[in-house]
Structure 1
Amino acid sequence: MRGEPVVGIQPSVMRWARESAGMSVDDVATRLKRQLAEVESWESGDGAPTYPQLERLAYELYKRPLAVFFLPEPPQEVSPRQQFRTLPAEELASLSRDTYLHLRKARAYQAGLEDLYSETNPAPRKIWHHVSLQRNQDVAAQAMNIRRELGIDSPIQAQWGGDDQALKAWRSAIERMGVFVFKDSFKQKTISGFCLRDHEFPLIYINNSTTKTRQIFSLLHELAHILFDVSGISKFDTSYITELPAREQELEVFCNAVAAEVLIPFDEFSRVTAGVPSNVDALDDAYFSRVARYFGVSREAILRRFLDSGRATRDFYESKAREWTDQMVERDGGGGSWYASRGAYLSDTLLREVFARRLRGQLSSERAAEYLGVKPANLPGLEDLVLHRTRN
């Protein structure tokens, strides 16, 4: 009966399902409005949830198929602690349930890509086959190799009409080179994004809950991780870097340097800013905005370049960074189209492939929806969006 404890659930599976969702026992008890001791009994084997409780655990809290709870032991799955070396153990332990679910969703996309493309990346030229980053080599030269592979130079950057166009251009260039890029809004606002390395289907996943310029830097930072052949998860506040072991500290500093050099080549930056004083602390915001627009980056990224070259003081940089961060609120209107948002979140390469195969009758609606992580009823609206992009 539905009100009786479910028979056949292994305590180890219950514990794994909770921990893999980034939840504590207390979190579960609070969400279910049950006593802490009752939830603990499910994981000790002294008790078991009822069928309705198990359904809530599976579908609402842990986001798992119901069948997984009847496995004899927890399935093999890579944990964030095993996969990511770029956050301290304490930071990894503090990842929210929402972030855990984004990581799981990204792995599902990666597995879907492998299945959809029969384990072979469709890109004619894969950037990680031609650029392999090394910390003991010149950053500027390696960044130039990345720009060359992506087909982006300073004249092209100068033609972009704004942050949105710049983000789309960088993202499109990276996807053309075989790296799949996804976005989503994170509830854990401190996370800027992460990447999952793979020899055929590397994936970048960016937090959409911030400005376009911040997303661009995150995109290039995670690309550097992939080209270094390391999965990474990153935060906006870089103070966590000092808590990492020496090797990981060097890696994060290196990836930041590569991202900055790809976005703002130092030689070009020196040329553009040659006419200003040796110390820029007295310059107004309008100047930093003009240079930022030229490179398609944030004002903070430009000021950081001045700081690194000894042309701004640390106090001025930190003061302005705080001021500009407070100003940078994403203005999305709050009532946009679900289809437009979902279309922006999903990899464009994946979207086009799924709907091309669906139009050719090679994919059912159910299978197409599985690859995209949406309900079958949402496919027509997404299909209209993709066809509109293709026509334009």
Structure 2
Amino acid sequence: MQINVKLSPDVLDWVMAHIQQENVPRDVVKYLTIWKSGEKLPTFNQIEKVSKASGIPFGYFFLQEPPKEEFPLLEYRTIDSTSAMNPSRNIIDVMHDMEQVQDWARNHAIEEEQQAPEFIGSQKNNVDTEDFAEYVRTVLELEIKWYENSKSAVESFKTLRDKISQAGVIVMMSGIVGNNTHRPLDINEFRAFAMVDDLVPLIFINSNDSVSGKLFSLLHEFAHICIGNNSLYNDRYSSGTRVSKAESVSNAVAAEILVPQVMFEKKWKEIDKFDDPIKTIDALTKYFSCGTTVIARKALDNGYIDYSVYRKLSQIAVNRYNEKRKKEKEQGGGGDYYRTAASRIDTRFFKSLVSSVHEGKTLYTDAFRLTNTNRSTFENLVNKMGGGSK
């Protein structure tokens, strides 16, 4: 026997305002519209279906007043935007997931009497880009020409992610909420975020971004941790305009590490023989193993191109990436599940978690929750990532 439920009109208004209608099935929007009009009352099964599709917690639907949710991290968004002011359930749920990861890691660090990384907040008042960048290179044990050992931006990203993780930052990455492929993370909503903690800072990277975008975001967020403030990075162009001082500094530091000014000037003079700055920028992008936008920004800051050319190159880079993503979607193919799962989880964090489980300090159910796995996939992931021994 089906039981119909009367929902609060105010709660229904709140639900409809907080779902991204373009990203949920049409029947979900239809249900909500019918319920709101009073034409029909929902059943428990229908509410559960809408809850799963929208990401809005099941219990919220039965409240008499709309829930009051607070998301402090949203206050640190790079630039104002509609998506930032009205965050999707996807980013909200990812933030909640990362809070749980950070809470576990913090408790584990306290239990193991781990020392806090000294770089957290150490550059709070440093606005000297080159000095700040040199400090970061020292912390991460990078030579100024570290990029010459990378064959591609993919290798550069892996190198920096490993270095930042070993320095004491949890670096997580995904393009979906949990394991739900029907809940992709929108690159237009955010590229990355950093959650500062005095013991276990965390960086989350939206893997739906381009490789060069992820590379820049990673360094941008690490700079924020060195400054000592949280960050929600949602600037698609790394424009450096209409942003706070901390954002400008973080952008500049990230660019300086990827493309050191002294090396940029030298290489520009060597390569700028085409009498075509766009060709020069393309050549430098390959040399520094980073994105076109970063090189274009350097060229803009050095007066080699004007802002209109910079914006044109930035848009071209976005269009190329969008076209690539479109082709990948059309071709389909799920890839290697465990390779993808492993790429989402910080290796140092995972090994600590596995060791804690095997020592009986952490329940398997908690480990499954923190890694979005079950008993079978968790053990296979342990084998894939080389976790702690039993």
TM-score class normalised by the smaller sequence: 0.7 to 0.9
Unpaired runs of 5+ residues, structure 2, are 176-183
In structure 1, the residue matched to 2:149 is: 159
Residue correspondence of structure 1 range 15-54 to structure 2 within 5 A: 18=15, 22-23=18-19, 31=28, 33-36=30-33, 38-39=35-36, 50-54=43-47
SS of the equivalent of 1:33 reads helix
User: Which residue does 1:275 correspond to in 2?
Assistant: 270
Separation in 2, partners of 1:225, 1:75: 31
Equivalent in the alignment of 1:149: 139
Q: For residues 110 and 49 of structure 2, what CA distance do their matches in structure 1 show?
A: 35
Code of the residue aligned with 2:3 in structure 1: it is G
Match of 2:186 among 182, 185, 188: 188
Secondary structure of the structure 2 residue equivalent to 1:128: coil
Q: 1:49 to 1:124 in 2, by over 3 A?
A: same
Q: Which range moves more in the overlay, 52-61 or 224-233?
A: 52-61
Tell whether 2:94 aligns with 1:102: yes
What SS does structure 1 have at the residue aligned with 2:79? coil
Cα distance change, pair 134–200 in 1 and its aligned pair in 2 (3 A) = same
Matches within 5 A, 1:126-275: 126-128=118-120, 131-134=122-125, 137-185=127-175, 186-190=184-188, 191-238=190-237, 248-275=243-270
Q: TM-score, normalised by structure 2?
A: 0.78
In structure 2, how many angstroms separate the alpha carbons of the residues matched to 1:390 and 1:227?
30
Which residue does 1:44 correspond to in 2? none
1:288-367 correspondence to structure 2 within 5 Å = 288-328=281-321, 329=324, 334-367=333-366
Amino acid at match of 1:225: H
Are the counterparts in 2 of residues 121 and 201 from structure 1 also a CA contact under 8 Å?
no
Matched residue SS, 1:154: coil
SS at match of 1:312: coil
Which stretches in structure 1 are left out of the alignment for 5+ residues?
42-46
Give, in whole Å, the separation in 1 of the partners of 2:361 and 2:352.
Answer: 11
Is 2:356–2:362's contact at 8 Å kept on the other side of the alignment?
yes
CA distance in 1 between partners of 2:107 and 2:68 (Å):
19
Q: After alignment, is 66-75 or 299-308 more displaced?
A: 66-75
Q: Following TM superposition, by how much is the alpha carbon of 1:382 offset from its aligned partner in structure 2, in angstroms? A: 0.9
Which is worse superposed, 214-223 or 80-89?
Answer: 80-89
CA contact (8 A) 2:292 2:313 kept: no
Deviation at 1:348, TM superposition (A): 1.6
Map Cα deviations across residues 328-349 of structure 1 (whole Å, 9 max, x no partner): 3368774311111111011222
Residues 20 and 88 of structure 2 are in contact (CA less than 8 Å); yes or no, is this contact kept in structure 1? no
Residues 333-342 or 108-117, more deviating: 108-117
Task: Compute the RMSD of aligned alpha carbons.
Answer: 3.9
Alpha-carbon distance change, 108 to 263 in structure 1, aligned in 2, over 3 angstroms: same
CA shift for structure 1 position 254:
2.4
Partner deviation per Cα, 1:9-39 (whole Å, 9 max, x = no partner): 9988x579948x9427997995163253624
